[in-house]
Amino acid sequence: MLTIDLAAIQSNWLKLQSIGTGAKVAGVIKANAYGLGADQVGNALYTVGCREFFFASIDEALAARGFLPPDTIIYVLGGIRAGDESLLIESNLIPVLCSLSAVNRWAKANTNFGSNASSAIKINTGMTRFGLDVREFELLCSDKTLLLATHPVLLMSHLACADERDHPLNLHQLNLFSNCAQLMLPLLPNLRFSLANSSGIFLGDKWHFDLLRPGAALYGINPVPNTPNPMLPVVHLSLPIVQVRKLEAEAAIGYCSSVALPEGAFVAVVAGGYADGLHRTVGLQAEGYLNGQLVKTVGRMSMDSTMFDISALGVLGDQLLGQSIEVINSSLSLEYLSKKNNSLGYEILTSLGARYQREYLAGAYHV
Ligand X SMILES: *Cc1c(COP(=O)(O)O)cnc(C)c1O
- Applying the rule CB under 6 A, the residues between 156 and 175 that interact with ligand X are 158
- Applying the rule CB under 6 A, the residues between 27 and 66 that interact with ligand X are 28, 30
Burial 133-161 (b: 16+ CB within 10 A, else e): ebeebeebbeeeebbebbbbbbbbbbbbb
Q: Return the HEC string of the chain.
A: CEEEEHHHHHHHHHHHHHHCCCCEECEECHHHHHCCCHHHHHHHHHHCCCCEEEECCHHHHHHHHHHCCCCCEEEECCCCCCCCHHHHHHCCEEEEECCHHHHHHHHHHHHHHCCCCCEEEEECCCCCCCCECHHHHHHHHCCHHHHHHHCEEEEECCCCCCCCCCCHHHHHHHHHHHHHHHHHCCCCCCCEEECCCHHHHCCCHHHCCCEECCCHHHHCCCCCCCCCCCCCCCEEEEEEEEEEEECCCCEEECHHHCEEECCCCEEEEEECCHHHCHHHHCCCCCEEEECCEEEEECCCCCCCEEEEECHHHCCCCHHHCCCEEEEECCCCCHHHHHHHCCCCHHHHHHCCCCCCCEEEECCCCCC
For the question of residue 122 being annotated catalytic, the response is: no
Q: Binding pattern to ligand X, positions 74-93, x when CB under 6 A?
A: ---x----------------
- Applying the rule CB under 6 A, the residues between 183 and 202 that interact with ligand X are 197-198
Q: Which of 30, 34, 46, 356 is catalytic?
A: 30
Q: Shortest gap between Cβ of 247 and ligand X (angstroms)?
A: 45
Q: For ligand X, give the closer residue by CB, 105 or 213.
A: 213
Q: For ligand X, give the closer residue by CB, 103 or 216.
A: 216
Q: For ligand X, give the closer residue by CB, 288 or 345.
A: 345
For the question of residue 30 being annotated catalytic, the response is: yes
Q: Shortest gap between Cβ of 81 and ligand X (angstroms)?
A: 18
Q: Shortest gap between Cβ of 22 and ligand X (angstroms)?
A: 19
Q: Shortest gap between Cβ of 110 and ligand X (angstroms)?
A: 23
User: Per CB under 6 A, which region of 147-155, 207-215, 241-249, 258-266 contacts ligand X?
Assistant: 207-215
Q: Which of 144, 206, 246, 255 is catalytic?
A: 255
Of 191, 186, 96, nearest to 144 by C-alpha is 186
Query: CB nearest ligand X: which residue?
Result: 215
Q: For ligand X, give the closer residue by CB, 231 or 307.
A: 231
Q: Shortest gap between Cβ of 97 and ligand X (angstroms)?
A: 13
The CA distance from 146 to 76, in Å, is: 21
Please tell me whether 127 is known to bind a ligand: no
- Applying the rule CB under 6 A, the residues between 326 and 355 that interact with ligand X are none
Please tell me whether 303 is known to bind a ligand: yes
- Applying the rule CB under 6 A, the residues between 298 and 317 that interact with ligand X are none
- Applying the rule CB under 6 A, the residues between 209 and 268 that interact with ligand X are 213-217
Strands 259-261 vs 266-271: parallel, antiparallel or unpaired = unpaired
Q: For ligand X, give the closer residue by CB, 170 or 311.
A: 170
Q: Shortest gap between Cβ of 124 and ligand X (angstroms)?
A: 11
Using N-to-C axis directions, what is the helix angle for 100-113 and 134-141, rounded to 10°? 30
Q: For ligand X, give the closer residue by CB, 117 or 231.
A: 231
**How many binding residues for ligand X (CB under 6 A)?**
11
Binding stretches for ligand X (CB under 6 A): 28, 30, 77, 158, 197-198, 213-217
Tell me which residues are annotated as active site.
30, 255
Binding residues for substrate: 129, 303
